[in-house]
Amino acid sequence: AIDQAEDLNSDDYVDFDDVTEALRAAKAITKANSQAEITAAAEALEDAIDALVRKSNLTALEKALADARALDPELYVDFSAVTAAINAAANYNVATPQADVDAAVTAINNAVSALVLKDFSALEAAIERAEDLDADDYVDFSDVTEALRAAKAITKANSQTEITAAAKALTDAIEDLVEKDFSALEAAIAREDALNPELYVDYSGVTKALGVAKAITKANSQDEITAAAKALNDAIDALQKKSDLS
C-alpha cells in the first residue's frame, strides 16, 4: 500500500490529503505495533487511495469556451443556444466529472456549429439598387428616400426579422415608383415644330410657351411637366391663321 501510494502523483487528483495522512500513519507503523494496527493502517491507506478522484482534463473545455466567447453574438440569427451552453459549463473545474466536462465540450461545439449568420444580402442589394436610381426620374421618390434611410440604419445589432423587413420595405418602395411622363410634352413640342410661325397672326404666345416647355427637365415635377405641355397645346390651339382674315 505504501509503495502504491508513493507511486502516485498528488497533482493528478482533486484531493490528496487523505492519502497523505494515511501514508504518514502507515509509515509510522513499526514492529512494535500489533498485527491489528498494521492491518488497519494498510486498509486505511488502501481506502484513501481507492477514494481518490482524478482531476478532469479541462483542455478541450477551455478551448471550446474560449472559441465560443470570441464569437460576436450579433452576427448570428440566434445565439441563445451557445450562451446557454457556455453558462452551463462556466463553473466547471477539475473536480467536475470528466464525463460532464466532455459532454459540455460537445454541447458548446454543437451549438456553435448550428449557428446561422444573419443574412444582409437582400438588404445590401436593395440599397445598391436604390442608390443607382435618379430621384428626378420619378414622380415621387419620398417613399424610397425614407425606406433607404431606414435600411441604412440597420446594423448587425438588428434581428434577422428587422433586416428582412427593411429590405422588403425598400424593395417595395422601389417597385412602386412611377416614372415621370414626358410624352405629352414631347408631343406638344413636336406639334409646334411642324408649324410655320409666318402663317399666323400672332405667334408670340406659342413662342413663349415653347420656351417654357423646352426649359423643362427631369428635375421638374410631374405637375410642372404636365402644365408646360398643356400651356403649349393651348397656345397652339389659340393660333389664328392670317389667311382666315382675308
pLDDT attached to residue 123 = 98
Q: Which of 151, 110, 157 is nearest to 127 (CA)?
A: 151
Contacts of 196 (CB under 8 A, 6+ apart): none
pLDDT attached to residue 196 = 96
Query: Would you state the cell numbers that stand for residue 127, as one nine-digit string?
Result: 440599397
pLDDT attached to residue 16 = 78
The alpha helices in 53-93, defined as continuous H runs, are 59-69, 80-89
pLDDT attached to residue 246 = 59
How many angstroms separate the CA atoms of 74 and 80, rounded? Answer: 11
Contacts of 214 (CB under 8 A, 6+ apart): 189
pLDDT attached to residue 50 = 81
Instruction: State in Å, rounded, how far the first CA of the chain is from the last one.
Output: 143
Chunked into runs of 10 residues, the chain (246 residues) has average pLDDT values of 79 79 86 91 85 85 96 97 97 91 97 98 98 97 98 97 98 98 98 96 97 97 98 98 77
Amino acid letter for position 7: D
How many angstroms separate the CA atoms of 2 and 19, rounded? Answer: 10
Q: Which of 221, 231, 233, 220 is nearest to 190 (CA)?
A: 233
Place of cell 500489533: 34
